[in-house]
Every structure is written in structure tokens, then in C-alpha cells.
Structure 1
Amino acid sequence: MEFRLLGPVEASAEGRPVGLGHPKQRTVAAVLLCELGRAVPAERLIDRVWGEDPPGSVRNILYGYIGRLRTALADCGVPGVRLTRGSGGYLLEADPERVDLHRFHRLTAAARDGDDRVALLRQALDLWRGDALSGLTGAWAEATRARLADERLAARLELYDASLRLGHHRELLPELRAQAAAHPLDERAVRQLMTALYRGERQAEALELYEATRHRLADDLGVDPGPELRGVHQRILSEDPSLAVPEECGADAVSVSEAPVGAGDSGPPADSALPRVPAGLPHVVGGFRGRAEEIARLDALLPPDPGPATEAAEDPAGAVAIAAVCGTAGVGKTALAVHWGHRVRRRFPDGQLYVDLRGFDHDSEPLRPAEAIGQLLHGLGVARERIPADGDEQVHLYRSLLAGRRMLVVLDNAASADQVRPLLPGAPACQVLVTSRQRLSGLVARDGAQPLVLGSLTPEAARAVLAAAVGEDRVAAEPEATDRLVRLCGALPLALRVAAAQLVCDPGRPVADLADELGNGDRLAALELDGDPASAVRRAFTLSYRALAPGPLRLFRLLGVAPGPEITVPAAAALLDTGERKAAGLLRALDAAHLVESPRPGRYRPHDLLREYAAERARAECGVAERAAALERLLAWYLRRADAATAYGYTPQVRLERDRAGDSAFAGRDEALAWLEDERANLVAAVVRAAEAGPYRTAWQLADELRTYFYQRRHLSAWEDAAQAGLRAARQGGDPLGEAAMLHSLGTLYRHTGEVEASLGYHRSALEGYRKAGFAEGEAAMLCNLGTLYDDMGDMRRAAEWQDRGIRMFRTLDRPGLLGPALSNSSAVDVQLGELRRAVDRATEAIGIYGRQETSSGTVTAMINRGQAHRLLGDPDRALADGRAAARLCRELSQRHNEASAHDLLAQVHGDAGRPDAAFAHAERALEIAVETSTPKDEADALTTLGELHRADGRSDRAGARLTEALDAAASRGLRRQEAEAHVGLARLRDGSRAYEAAAGHAERALAIARGQGLRLVECRAHHALAALCRALGDPERAGRHASRARHIRAETGYRPARLG
């Protein structure tokens, strides 16, 4: 068996491809293969596959991927290749020689010490089939692909060095040309090509290559060739004998990479006769990384290059190109401006001017325009004593000197458009680059500036900044700690550079130690350097904060009180206790100052470190009472809006009595759902904050109000965070009814994540809590929920007992709205008990209740259960009608939690009728939704249906894989009915392949489970399977007994097995 990562991620066994699934599942495989033989914790897998924004159901999705990969590997039957789970995480075991990446590493390591270096490196490079991890996306895949590309390039360059030492320059020349063309800024590749050209008697071509590279380095990076490339150039010029082909090509020959630079080589001589050209840009900050998109946008603003042989032709009607680079403190505005200025300086042959306008300076006032023009004129060569005293004359002289010249003017750290406007040249051949923490909207509107707003770096660029400062090896040794440090710095360049400086100054300090300090303490205090207060992140923020007017200043402080990542205009109005119009204006002011950003109209968010700074300012400048009042207003607003939004089909079925003031109604269900989706993170954060600081009652009330929304939309992670926080709040506040409601919520949650024992415990505690509090509706609901839980566990007799008690209690209470769900859920139990007629009656009664109450959301489950009963009674037309209606309602009502079951029913109906294409389409859709919504029960059902469809279609290998997956998923989660169903499917499959002993084992296990749990229809199917097996084994007496029992169950229940039944 072979695994391939150096190209598309693939596997094969005995020359046949092994399916590794879709890209996300292949990414899981790739991570495990990269970490071959080492346990990978689930948290690391999740981070590498989904990055910083995993879905709420990510653990269950991961479980499904692992299960399918395990099945795919097991089906290959290759000894020593297996995927297991231990205490440390998931472990993929295989001989490293089966993985091309590990073979590559072994071969390149051997080449470093071996005599056959060229052959080993050729073998290593021949393993590559394109870009590594081709087809995979995400931060980890991109970073790994880039790292491996660097390794591939390093190996190729090592190969070329070794080959050149052996005198193979003629054979290498085509490869070296291609390599230099692909990497024109790689000086080692250029050195190798120059050496090969020189040895091939193409000295002029080698020197031309050097000149072209020197110009490219200057134009693109603003740097000169390094000493090694200059050394090769000098040796060619002087026809250094050491550069010629050695007479005896061996290990002692001088390498192009090792040759010393000539002592006299100090670069081109200075020409003192050249006129003075201003070069005022500050030095380039080392380690600049990322910003490719922003650099491309600045490049697009460059004036046309007239070429070296023509003068700069000016269009008298043209305008000066102005770029306004704006962003929050520490985001790297100046670094970008200086880097870009050096990069394009050859496009401005008349020079570059730079002035720091000190718009945000801790120790100085902003530079007045007259002072700035004085500095610019001095940079143009005007003696200070010749600078006019009159401001208008200064501007006239400045613009006159720039006329007809191609110059770059960098105006850094501007306070306002008014400060910048007098400094704009009049010459269209010039370009102006302005940086500011303000948005400079006036400069855009009146002067045609092109705005460029800088945000935080991408995670990849942020890691590259750290690697450039502290060393690639140090970062690579602690990848998880590095990623955590990037997150804690918010990918803000200033914060990253401060963190990197701390690591550079303390070479023995682990990256994880600094990440822990930032994560567990005062981040802003940790992001300071001893002896350099100007570099502190807090100081940078303070300059922007102090520049605010009083209104925006107060709002910014109170943003430190607000929970959640974002805030809307109405929420800000509640926080401030003011009108929405005023709140909108204040938010726009903060946005203009880049203290918040607006990802979408009407929504604002501060950078993580700015949020922490705002909280710090709130603690220092707002009293306890002011902070508490602001928080309570905001939490009350969230609760009112949640009450209004959940009224559109998301109202909890069991609702505690409380005052619901409500809020202005939403326009309809879609708008209400959109609000809940947009505000989900804020709502959960509000619950958590209220559980920490109070009011405790608001915490559990808000969590309870969101329960049905979380359930229907399957936001399981958010649900757990809110319910656990609500439980803490109810206990802290001494509220037994609130505690019971949170126990109820958690019990329902863990039922749907397949954590049966936890769910059972929470439900029993909730039942006791409701009973003690005298809340009869809650007590009846818990009776029904416990019945549904026993249904999931496959114990149908106990399920029916609990649900019947709950139904009787709801009838006594005369609560039809709560009786409907109870009847619907009990009809599912009736199906498994074989009470098919009663299942139809109860589901139909539930549908009628929902219809009279005009609440269609509950109708779906009842339709699915009734459709399944119709199918098993041999009425496919009614089953199909119910299935289609249920699937349609799921789409209309966005009911993801029921959609998998609707598609599974339709798959079975189409399979029974011999329509395999439609059946497979619905079954695959059911499985996809079950995995996405993290519903193990639905996943196991869909896998079993797919297995049965493959069996009926004659594809036994695929049938076995799916049914084994279903069995594993069910058995690991205690889903006894699904486990028995999978055993029946495997028994039929093994019977068909004449593996009678294995088939009998599966059938007997299915029968034992069915009898123990009251699964009458599964029991019937197990008897059918055993009867067929006994006939095949020549035991007609036992076959007859099993067939008789199957007939008895069919007669008693009305069950009419179809093609898949």
C-alpha cells in the first residue's frame, strides 16, 4: 500500500486507488500521514483541518471522517496499516516507506552524508507529482505546502550544486534555466546558472543574467545582490580559475555556493558627479511579510513608466496619484509604505521624499503644514535660509520644484486631510502615499485619494513574521504554540514584533511560555519591551484613544463592557442608553478612527487587543455602577430581541412563565432567523457574561429562550456553552426552576450528540427539579423526553412506558400544544414496537394538532414517522407523499435537524420500488446532512440504508464498508436499534457471499438485541435472515422455526417487508 502527499493526496493498494473521501476528509488523512506514528489530539486535527472557524458540530464530523478512513484502510487488508485512537489522540500506523513524504525525507537526509548524493537526490525529487497536498485548502494545508515547496527547492538546489561539482554543467543547463526562470529572485539558482553558463563558454550571457537579476532585485525588493552572487560575478569578470571545471571533479571542488567573495568587491563605485537625488525613505524594516494584495493595489496606482530613454511626459489634465493607507494603531501602515517605496524607487528617478507628520505622537504635537513643507523643501536641496517665510510662497516653491519631476512623496502618520492637503504636489508624474489612523474621507472625496484600509495579517503571514524574526527552526519546533501566539497577538504586526523581540532576546524561552503568559494574564502588559516604551502596544492604542471626542470616547470605553465579538447600532444604543441615530454616528466616528471595523453595514467590531484595551479603560475611567448599568441594559435588550425572534417557530415547547416585554416585531420568519444567526456569538457571550457578573436570572432565561433555535439549527457547540453557563447562573442565583430548565436543555443537547449516559443523567435531574418546583408541564415533558431517549437506546418497551405516562399527563393538563410533540415522538416508538396502526393514528393526531395551531414546524417529525409506518405497512404511495412533504417543509423551515431523516425515508421508499438512482441520491444527502449536523443516530441510519442499497445493487464491497461503518457508529454511541439493523444488513450480505458462519453471527446478535429491546420489526428481519441461512446450511427444521416466527410477527403487526425491508 502506498500513500502520496507530494502532489494530490492519494492512496493505493495493489495498484488500485483507495478512496480517501472529499477534501476535508483527505486533509484529516494528510495530517495523520504527516504525523505518521505519532498520536494527534482531536484538538490539533480540528485546528489543522478547519482552522479558526470550525463548525459547531466539528467533533462529530471528525468522528465520521475518522470512521470512514478507518473502514477504507481496513478494507485494504494490508498488515501493519491501521488507524486507531488512544489516550493521546488518533494514531495512523504504517511503514514510513509507504508514504512518499517520509521517503523523500529519508533520501534527502541520506544524501547529506552519502557518496551517491546525486542519485539519492534524484530519487527524492522524482517522488514529486506536482504541488504537495494539491487540492487541499485551509491555513495548515497552505503553510505545509509552502514549507514542503521550500524543501523541494532546497533539495533541487543541493542536487544542482552536487552535479556542478561533478562537472555536469552541460546536462544541467536546461534545468538550471527553468529553475532560474521560476525563481528569478533566488540568488542561489542564479549563481548556479551563471556558473554553468561560464563553464559552457557563455561568459557574456552569464554577465547579462547578473545585470538582469541586479535590476530585478532592486525593482522588486529594493535590495542589492548578496555577497555570494556578487562574488560569482567578480570571479567571472576576473576569470577566476577556481570557477572553471575541476580537472578531477570530486568532493574537494569549489562549490558555487561556498566560494568566498573577493576582498575588493564592495559593489559599484559611487559617482560623485551625479546630481543630488533625494532618497529620504527610512530604512526597510526587516522581516516584512504578507500584504501581497495591498502591494498590488499600490502598484496599480503607479504612473506609467516612460522608460529610460524618454522624458516623463506629463498630461496637463492629469492628477497626482494619491494613496491613503489607513488602519488601526500597530497594523503596519508605515512598514508597508516604506517597503513599497523602496520596492518601486526606480520608478521615481528624481527621488523620494518622506516626512513624519506626527499626527499621533506621544511626545509631540502634530506637525504644522508649514513645518512639513520646510522639511520637504530641505529634502529637495533648498537651504533652510532660502525657504520663504510666507506659507503660500512655500507651497508655490515646493510645487514648482516638483514640476516635471517623477518623485514619490510619503506623508506618514497624518492627523487629518487638512494637514495633508497643502503638501500635495501639483505634478501628475509624482505619487503621494499617505498613512493615517484616520480614514481621511475628505482626502478621498475632494482630492481623489484612493483609500487602502489595512487589517490584521493573515495567519500565514503572521507566522512568517515570527519566523523571520526568531528563526524558522524555532517556529517549526512549536507549531501549535506559534499559532496560539499569533491568535493572542491578533495577527497585529506591532504585537507580533514585540512578541518576537522578547523571544529573540531570550533564546532559551519556549514559544509556548510566551503564549501562556499572554493567554493567562494582562496581554497588553505582556506586549511591552523593557527600555522601549514607544514600542508598547498599549501606548500605540492610547494615542488613538486620546484623539477621540467625548462621545466616541465613552462608547469605546463601554465596548469593553459589551460581551461578544461584534455590536450593532441598536445594541450600542442600548449600551449607551441613547437613540439609534446618535449611536450610529458614534460608531461611525470610531470606525473613521480605526478603533473599530465594519465587516458588514450596521455591524462593528474592535480588534481583540483593542477590545482588551477598551475594557482596561472602562475599569479605569467608568465607575462600577456605570459599567453594571450599561451591561444590564444591553443584556435586557438581547433578551427582548431573542423573545421576539424565537416566536417565529423557535419558541421552546416547554416555556417557563415569566414577563416577556417583547420588542418590535420582525418582518417575518426569515428576518427573525437571520437576526438569530447574525447574533449567535453575541447571544452566547451575553449568557456567559451574565453568568459571570449577573444578573443571573437573565443568563439562564436567555439560554432557555434559545434552546429550540439551537436544536433546530444544530448549533451544538453554542448550545452547550450557553446551557452550561445558564446552569452555573441558576445555581449561583439559587433558582431551582432555572436549574431544572438548564438541566432539561443539556439533557436534550447530549441526546442529539449521542452522549446517552450524560443525557440520561441530566433528564432525570431535570424531572426531579421540575417535580419539586411544581412545574407540571416540565415534568410531563421530561417523561416524554426520557421515553425518546430510551427509544434512541433501542429499549422500546421502556420508551413506550415513559412516553405513555407523559402523554396521559399532557391530556390531563389540556395542553394540546405540548401533546402534539409527545404524540409525534411516541409514534416513532410504535413503529419499532410493531404497533404500526397506532403509529399512524398518533402521528395523524399530532399533525392535526399542529394544523389547528398553525405551527408547521412540529409537523415534520410526525410526517416522517407516519411515512415510515405507511412504508412498513406496504403503502408506498402514502409513504412517498409524507416523505416528500416532510423534505419540503424542512427546506422551507430550515429544519436541518429533521432533514436527514426525511431523505433517509425517501431513499428507502425509492429503494423498495426499484429506483436505485433516486434512492442513492437521497441516501447520500441524508448522510451528508447527518454528518454536518452531528446527529449520530441519523448518520448510522443513513449508512445502513446505503449499505442495503449497495447490497441490492450487487456491490458487496461497498455494502460491507457502509454497514461496518454503521455498526461502529451505533455500537460506540449505545444506539442499540441502529446496531441491530446494521447486524441484519451484514447477515444478509455475508449470506449472499456464502460466508455463512459470519452471517449467522451477525443475525444472532441482531436477534438478541431485538428481543431484549422490544424491536419487533428488527426481530422479524433477523428471523428472515436466519431462516435463509439455515436453509443454505441444510437445516430445514430450524429454517422452518425461524420462518414461522417471522410470519407470526408480520401477521401481528401488519408488517409487509419490501425490497430493503
Structure 2
Amino acid sequence: MSTNSTGLTPPRQLPADAAVFVGRERELGQLSRLLDVAQEHKSARMAVVSALAGTGGIGKTCVALHWAHQNAEIFPDGQLYVNLRGYGPTESPRDPGDVLGDFLRALGIGPAMLPDSAESRAAMFRTLVSDRRMLIVLDNARTAAQVRPLLPGAGNCFVLITSRDSLTSLVVRDDAYRIDLDAFDMADSIDLIKRTLAQSAHDGDEEILMNLADLCGRLPLALRIATERISSDRSYSLEDLVESLSMERDRLDILATPDNDSTTAMKSVFDWSYKALPIEIARIFRICSLHPGPHFNVGAAAALSGVSVREVERSLEALISASLLERNGYAKTYHFHDLVRIFAQHCLMKDETAADLGESRRRECLWYVNATDAANRKLSPHRTPIDLRGLPSAVPVEGISTFEDALRWFEFERLNLMGVLKCAELSEMFDVVWKMATAAWSYYDLRKYLPDWIDSHELGLNCARRIGDVRGECRVRDNLGIAYREAGRLEDAAECLERALEQWRSTGFTYGEAATLDNLGCVYLEVGDLDRAQGYLESAILLNRRIDDRWGEARVMNNIGRVFLKRSNGEEAELRFAESASVYRQLNDIVGEARVVSNWGRALTLVQDHERAAAKFSYSLGLQRRVGDRHGEAETLRCFAELSMQQGDIPYAMEQLKQSMIIFRELGDPQEETIRRRLDELIGMYSSSVQ
């Protein structure tokens, strides 16, 4: 895979182009001329913004993506894409700060370097893209205010925005160029019908095709759905289709306002297509619209519908063939066009009972808590698992067998998780809420999605309290305290964990008490209260040994060693690191062993035992490179460089620092800047010494 001038793989986020694309030469030409103007005025380094406006189903996204794919090679630094969900039927529009977080991660910014505020994220985004040639597609925007923080400012980026709103203030204030899309003319409508029907046995004269185009309002989405349906059914003629749509249109016209012709056309096509579906597929169509997030996978669909994964997959493929459902980027994942979803939910309210809807929600929530737990066990196999007895899922969780599978599942589901949690709360499934939130902890801790982490756990804490589950409340508090610490809210972290410690002791659950003591020790280590930190950690180690939790013992012993390093007591630190490394080695936890051995090398550096320190760093690097622990590798290289400086080997130290800096940059870790300054100091010192 190619890399750009930054040395990182450019993001390639564009969804697939349309299989059949017709017309729109005028609009595509306008976009290309805008790009030409931007290239001609390269010295001005101005970003070009084009707002593609038009009613739902008019083809805004299709035009934007078709042009984007045609011109992707012009943007060597990559393409960013987001569906802003401005007009989704149930989900809230995407928050600009959240979108900026996704964009920054795609550009190589790791969680530790990600700013908290939307304003700071916007500033970092503008800085990062100022020297890059990128295409940014902001799809389905609701307002100019939602879009404005996502604009790159000065630079060589080209921005495409689609919206049903005219976004007038964006045109006036931000020099956007608006392109308004109309319905197809008759020629393009007939062309789309013919090209869609090209592989079928259906033929029709021009009058029939013109009638069909008019019945669909010459809207691309309506035309596509109608023709896809008939192309798959040889027994159904174009004449039959036109007759059916005429009758349905007449019925809906009675209820439509005079200025609502396009909506009436869409409803006509949707209703006709829906009634043509087999009974079970029609049920799955409407039931899937109950899903509380922007996209779903086949397992969630099976849970919602109460049928097997294999059966629901066949039905979903049939809906895709009918253009009533669209594929997502991941395998076996799907989403609705927002207008189709609105129609599906209309059918849901009309054709399902309240009891059926409640049962579907319950099944999906149960599937999600089991899937989240399965993914958590792969990301963090040594942590005490969540007890899901009494919360079985009728649909098995499939496809989560490795660490990579789990991470991929969480990345896809991140925007769904809070919706499912809130759905479970509304359904009074309070045990599902706190268990699912805490099961997602390992993912939130790894990726540092702090707003999601904190919001999910604060909701989980409330639900655990409502059912009086003290152990559940403690587990949530333990995770929430870590999130507060990561967010720099050290007082909140200490208060949360102190309360958890008090409750753990009241329940007599020693595993939980030991984990909370360890977390409290880390909080006070960051605060700088080393006596208090060591006291908590020493108490934790005693409990770990009492219950024979070897992994917990190794983790705490490493943290005790870190306290002694802070005290500049290398001898005591070395003893703790040696003991921790021994346990990790026995447990075959290579990541844990490598990081502790690196700390061990730091302790040996502190006591001037250079030869042994170098051996520890070399051993640690070997393990970290073997398992792909990039962050640990960067830390070890930095420590190795400090040792090389003590030994007087400045060129080798500079090379190690450079390698460390590159890795931290790739991870988006703020230590990159600290190492850069240190490297500049060394370069200056070395240059002076050789003159």
C-alpha cells in the first residue's frame, strides 16, 4: 500500500461508486472546473467547498462519490468521508467534534494526542491538512454550523458537501459554490431504466418507459428501486409495473399536498416494492429499521428478527437486490438510505404489535451484550470476565475469534453501542446496560474514546444502582475511575475509586478490591503523592497473593517498581521489576513481560549498570517487535537512547531517538514533541563537539 509525504498510509474512506451511473454531465463538469480553478490558484492555497443540494433521493451522494472516484488519483494524500446523518430518521446528526476525532485518527493521531474540545480538534485538523492534497466528502449535512468546524481552511484540500438544505450561510460566509440538483430529465430517466434492465428480458416502448419515469417522479432513487425490482422478476412486465404504480400513486396523491410530488413518488415506489416482497423478507425489512444505530451487521439483524443468521443473510441480500438496503464497508454489514428507513419504520408501526417490537428490542440487546463480552475477552483475556449468566442470546455470536476480529467489531459498532445501551435502559434491561458498558472497557481503554467511555459508564452506573447491584456498581466505578484519570480528572477519579473500594470491601469480593487498589495507586502516582500510591499498591499486592491472582500480582508489582523509579531508588525498583517479569514470563504474557523488562532497564540505568541495562533493553525490543507492540518499542528506544548518552555514544543515541520519534508520530503520541526537542538538543551538542 502506498504512502504519502508524511510516511503514513493515506486514508481511503470513499464508499463504493454506483454500479450504474447516468447523466449529471453538467454537475460533474462544474465540480471539475472548480478543481481546475483551485489548481490554477495554487499559490492562494484556498480550499474549495461545493455544496450539492437537493431533495432526498435526488442523487446528491451518488454524484459526489462518482466524481470523487473519477478524480481520486488527483489527491495523493487520501480521501476522508463521513455521513453526517443530517436527515436520518432516528439518529442524531453527527457531532462535529466526534467527526473531527475520527478524521484525526485516520490521519495518524493516536488517542493520547487527541484534544478534548471540538475547537482544539478543529485547529489540529486544519494544521495537519494545510500541506496535504486531500479530498474531503461531508455527506448528508444538516446545517452550515455542523459543517463549518470540519473545513480545512487554507490549503490544497477539495471539499464536497451534500445536503438537502441550501446551506446559504456557507455560500455567503465561506465562499462555497452551491450546485443544485434537479430530478432527471426524461432522456436520462429512460437511460437509467434501460441500463438497469439491460441484463433482463424486459423490453418496453418509449411511451411505457416515459410513464414509468413520470410515476417515479424522475427521481434516481425511485427509478433505481423500481427497475431493480422488475429486472429480477421475469414474470412481471413493464406494463404491470406501470399499472401497479399508477394505482398506488392515485391512492397516495389523495393524501399528498400539492407541493409534495417528489415525496409522493418515493412513497409510491416504496409501497409498491414493499408489497412485492415475500412476507418474511418484508418483515425483516421493517424489523431492521428498529436498530438504534446508523448501520448494523448480520448478527444484529438475526437477533432483531428472531431467525437464524443464514436465513436473515439471504433476506438481506434480497433487499439489496431490490435496492431497499445498501452494503456497508465491512463484510455482512448494512445500512438504509435514510428515506427508505423512514418508510420501513412507517411499515414497522403499521404492521408490528407493541409486544413484537418489545421482544425484538430485547433480543437485540441480549445479542449485543454477549457480542461485546466476546470481543472484550479477546482484547483483554486476563481481566475478570463479566458474568452473563441469565442473559443468554438466542443468536450465536460469530466472527470474533482473534484480537484483530474483536478490534474490527468494536470499530464498526462504536456508533451503535450508545444507542443500544439507551435502548436497553428504556426497555428496563438495567443489568444489560451496566454489563455491556463494562465489557466495552477494554476497547475504550485501548482506543481512548473518552466521551463514549465516560457516557456509557455513567449510564451503566445509574442502571446498576437502580437494581441495587452493588458488585455491578463497583465494576462500573472501577472502569469509570480509570476513564476520569485518563481524562485528567484526577479528583473525580480518586473519589470514584475510593467509593468503589469501600463498596468492594462491603461485598467481600477480593478480586475487585485488589483491582481498585491498583487503580488508586496509579491515580496517586500521577498526582505525585508517592507515599499514598505505594500504600495502595502494597495493599493490592497482598490481596493478589491471597487469592493467587498471578496476573494481577505482576501488574501491581510493575506499578510498585514505577513508584521506586519516581523516588530514584533504582535498587528497589529493580527487585520489583524482576519479580513482575518472572510472573509475566510464567503466564506467557509477552506484552507484559517486555514492558516490565524495559522498566527494569531503566532501573539499571539509574544505578549505572550500563551493560545489564543494554541487555534488558535489547531483550525487550526483541519481544516488542515480535508481538508488534509499537508503543512499547518506542518507549524502550527512548530509554535506550538515554543509556547511550550516559555511555557517551551520542550518534547512536540520536539514531535511537529518531526511531522512537517516528513511531510516536505514527501513533499520534504527544511524546513525539518531547523527543523531538531532546533530539534537537543532542544535534546541537554533537555539532558543537565536532567543530
**TM-score of the two chains, using structure 1 as the length reference:** 0.44
In structure 1, distance between residues paired with 2:400 and 2:101:
37
Partner residue, 1:440: 228
Which segments of 5 or more consecutive residues in structure 1 lack a partner in the other structure? 11-22, 28-42, 71-130, 154-285, 290-331, 342-351, 360-368, 377-408, 417-432, 447-527, 933-938, 957-991, 993-1061
In structure 2, distance between residues paired with 1:620 and 1:924:
60
Correspondent of 1:601 among 311, 316, 331:
331
The within-5 A match list for 1:317-396 is: 335-336=183-184, 338=186, 340=188, 373=205, 375=207
In structure 1, distance between residues paired with 2:382 and 2:233:
51
Partner residue, 2:287: 558
SS in 1 for 2:294: coil
Correspondent of 1:581 among 310, 313, 327:
310
Partner residue, 2:457: 723
Q: Deviation string for 1:53-72 (max 9, x for gaps)? A: 988944349758969999xx
Rate the CA distance shift 1:436–1:613 in 2: closer, same or farther, 3 A: closer
Partner residue, 1:952: 682
CA contact (8 A) 1:355 1:411 kept: no
Partner residue, 1:761: 495
Partner residue, 1:648: 378
SS in 2 for 1:611: helix
**1:133 is the counterpart of 2:170:** no
In structure 1, distance between residues paired with 2:440 and 2:629:
15
Q: Deviation string for 1:446-501 (max 9, x for gaps)? A: 9xxxxxxxxxxxxxxxxxxxxxxxxxxxxxxxxxxxxxxxxxxxxxxxxxxxxxxx
Q: Deviation string for 1:901-932 (max 9, x for gaps)? A: 34543453455541254233234235425645
In structure 1, distance between residues paired with 2:105 and 2:257:
35
In structure 1, distance between residues paired with 2:667 and 2:604:
23
Partner residue, 1:783: 517
Partner residue, 1:7: 44
The within-5 A match list for 1:217-232 is: none
Partner residue, 1:988: none
Rate the CA distance shift 1:554–1:67 in 2: closer, same or farther, 3 A: closer
CA contact (8 A) 1:767 1:779 kept: yes
Q: Deviation string for 1:132-155 (max 9, x for gaps)? A: 833346558xx99x97999799xx
CA contact (8 A) 1:867 1:882 kept: yes
**1:922 is the counterpart of 2:652:** no
Correspondent of 1:625 among 328, 332, 355:
355
In structure 1, distance between residues paired with 2:102 and 2:373:
33
| 1:645 aligned partner, one-letter code | A
In structure 2, distance between residues paired with 1:338 and 1:878:
81
Q: Deviation string for 1:360-399 (max 9, x for gaps)? A: xxxxxxxxx89x63836xxxxxxxxxxxxxxxxxxxxxxx
| 1:629 aligned partner, one-letter code | E
In structure 1, distance between residues paired with 2:506 and 2:448:
31
Partner residue, 1:614: 344
| 2:355 aligned partner, one-letter code | A
* Structure 1 residue 804, shift from structure 2 partner: 1.1
SS in 1 for 2:223: strand
In structure 1, distance between residues paired with 2:405 and 2:102:
29
Partner residue, 1:590: 319
Partner residue, 2:405: 671
| 1:921 aligned partner, one-letter code | K
In structure 2, distance between residues paired with 1:152 and 1:729:
47
SS in 1 for 2:293: coil
Rate the CA distance shift 1:727–1:882 in 2: closer, same or farther, 3 A: farther
In structure 2, distance between residues paired with 1:530 and 1:53:
46
CA contact (8 A) 2:518 2:537 kept: yes
The within-5 A match list for 1:840-859 is: 840-859=574-593
In structure 2, distance between residues paired with 1:152 and 1:671:
41
Rate the CA distance shift 1:585–1:722 in 2: closer, same or farther, 3 A: same
SS in 2 for 1:647: helix
* Structure 1 residue 785, shift from structure 2 partner: 0.9
In structure 1, distance between residues paired with 2:384 and 2:273:
50
* Structure 1 residue 597, shift from structure 2 partner: 0.4
In structure 1, distance between residues paired with 2:176 and 2:446:
49
**1:744 is the counterpart of 2:478:** yes
In structure 2, distance between residues paired with 1:637 and 1:886:
40
Partner residue, 2:267: 539
Correspondent of 1:804 among 529, 538, 543:
538
SS in 1 for 2:44: coil
SS in 2 for 1:564: coil
CA contact (8 A) 1:744 1:766 kept: yes
Partner residue, 2:7: none
Rate the CA distance shift 1:559–1:810 in 2: closer, same or farther, 3 A: same
| 2:427 aligned partner, one-letter code | A
In structure 1, distance between residues paired with 2:629 and 2:586:
21
SS in 2 for 1:436: helix
CA contact (8 A) 1:887 1:902 kept: yes
CA contact (8 A) 1:649 1:855 kept: no
In structure 2, distance between residues paired with 1:888 and 1:680:
34
| 1:634 aligned partner, one-letter code | E
Rate the CA distance shift 1:909–1:590 in 2: closer, same or farther, 3 A: farther
* Structure 1 residue 759, shift from structure 2 partner: 1.9
In structure 1, distance between residues paired with 2:385 and 2:222:
58
| 2:205 aligned partner, one-letter code | I
* Structure 1 residue 568, shift from structure 2 partner: 2.3
In structure 1, distance between residues paired with 2:258 and 2:441:
52
* Structure 1 residue 718, shift from structure 2 partner: 3.5
CA contact (8 A) 1:639 1:702 kept: yes
In structure 2, distance between residues paired with 1:945 and 1:835:
24
- Residue correspondences, number: 530
**TM-score of the two chains, using structure 2 as the length reference:** 0.64
Partner residue, 1:636: 366
Which of 1 and 2 has greater Rg?
Answer: 1
Partner residue, 2:115: 59
Rate the CA distance shift 1:612–1:885 in 2: closer, same or farther, 3 A: farther
Q: Deviation string for 1:996-1054 (max 9, x for gaps)? A: xxxxxxxxxxxxxxxxxxxxxxxxxxxxxxxxxxxxxxxxxxxxxxxxxxxxxxxxxxx
Correspondent of 2:297 among 537, 551, 568:
568
Correspondent of 1:867 among 594, 597, 601:
601
In structure 1, distance between residues paired with 2:418 and 2:628:
21
Rate the CA distance shift 1:66–1:786 in 2: closer, same or farther, 3 A: farther
In structure 2, distance between residues paired with 1:650 and 1:740:
19
Relative contact order (C-alpha < 8 Å, sep 6+): which is higher?
A: 2
* Structure 1 residue 287, shift from structure 2 partner: 6.1
Query: What RMSD in Å do the two structures reach over aligned CA positions?
Result: 4.8
SS in 2 for 1:536: helix
* Structure 1 residue 789, shift from structure 2 partner: 1.0
**1:838 is the counterpart of 2:572:** yes
* Structure 1 residue 832, shift from structure 2 partner: 0.9
The within-5 A match list for 1:287-302 is: 288-289=180-181
* Structure 1 residue 583, shift from structure 2 partner: 0.8
Correspondent of 1:701 among 427, 435, 455:
435
Rate the CA distance shift 1:597–1:846 in 2: closer, same or farther, 3 A: same
In structure 1, distance between residues paired with 2:289 and 2:192:
37
CA contact (8 A) 2:110 2:667 kept: no
Rate the CA distance shift 1:719–1:776 in 2: closer, same or farther, 3 A: same
Rate the CA distance shift 1:53–1:951 in 2: closer, same or farther, 3 A: closer
Rate the CA distance shift 1:558–1:435 in 2: closer, same or farther, 3 A: closer
Rate the CA distance shift 1:437–1:811 in 2: closer, same or farther, 3 A: same
SS in 1 for 2:378: coil
Rate the CA distance shift 1:548–1:445 in 2: closer, same or farther, 3 A: closer
Correspondent of 2:423 among 686, 689, 697:
689
* Structure 1 residue 744, shift from structure 2 partner: 1.2
Rate the CA distance shift 1:828–1:814 in 2: closer, same or farther, 3 A: same
Q: Which moved more, 1:899-908 or 1:916-925?
A: 899-908
Rate the CA distance shift 1:69–1:48 in 2: closer, same or farther, 3 A: closer
